Amino acid sequence: MWLAALVCLLCQSAGISAGEGGDGEDLSVTTTVDYSNVTGTTESVGQPYFDNSTKRDYTAAVGQPAYLHCRVKNLADRAVSWIRKRDLHILTVGVHTYSSDARFAALHTDGSDEWTLRVAPAQPRDSGSYECQVSTEPKISLSFRLTVVVSKAEILSGPELFVRAGSDINLTCIARHAPDPPSFIYWYRGSNVVNYAQRGGISVETEQRTRTSRLLIARASPRDSGNYTCAPSSSDSASVMVHVVSGERPAAMQSDAAKTNKPLRPSVLISLGMIASKASSLAILLQGFFINLIYGNGNPWNNYCLRRFEPR
């Protein structure tokens, strides 16, 4: 009987083993999850590297903020620093600034792979090379170039414009050397923004892509005369003095033309004639002196003077 019990016990043991074999799928799933975790850990301890697709040449306008963007992948616990290459000065480490110049600052958002150097406001002396550096061993770095330019508006008509009454005032302003299209371009007459509601016939067309703005004032009258200023958001302003005058030709232009074509006064002609006469007498005197020097005897100057001025 004990033999039968032993056989039953062996059969039950076999059945239990088969059931555990059926749970083997759960065990294999757990192993897969563990593998994926190991894979993730392997990536987290990998070496940092730069995203080389980022822009590395930047242009900024004087007085405006400048931004240099450095993207570092797989940074982990390393630190990102910004270095000014001309003097190897450390500007920032992480989000901390190590420069006495408060215009420099590091910008970073938690979880982001972007580390930005801000220079605000940018000055011409800030032009040059900068380096984004990662504290690996050995260190890795990526160079950036910043160019700070003077952006100034220009009104194509020049500093002064004459317009006949009843004609249109047409002014075109361009924001020269602006690194980015201006967000707005304002027009002023004197110290006041051009008032579109003050009278009809005033319109402004601004093209951000070409950094151009056009001011049109239809059927101008002398009351529209004044100093007009074009002021882009990111550029120095430019001004033009507009004169709205009556008549065929503006009086100022007629005055300039008269000055250009004015004949010489008689007194000026007489003075020029006297100068020419004296120059001719001096030439004759010198000619006689040298002739006497060659062919005369004694003191050629005295001989010539005696012969030149002796009574006749």
Mean pLDDT for 59-80 is 93
| Banded model confidence at residue 283, pLDDT cuts 50, 70, 90 | low
The better pLDDT of the pair 33, 305 is held by 305
The better pLDDT of the pair 9, 156 is held by 156
Residue 301 is encoded by which pair of tokens? 């100057």
pLDDT at 177 over 90: no
What's the pTM value of the predicted model, to 2 decimals?
0.54
CA distance 99 to 127: 17
DSSP 110: T
The better pLDDT of the pair 36, 116 is held by 116
User: Would you state the pLDDT for residue 51?
Assistant: 93
| Banded model confidence at residue 198, pLDDT cuts 50, 70, 90 | confident
pLDDT at 181 over 50: yes
CA distance 225 to 241: 8
Residue 241 is encoded by which pair of tokens? 């003095």
Q: Which of 105, 233, 254 is nearest to 180 (CA)?
A: 233
Q: How far is CA 93 from the centre of its chain?
A: 28
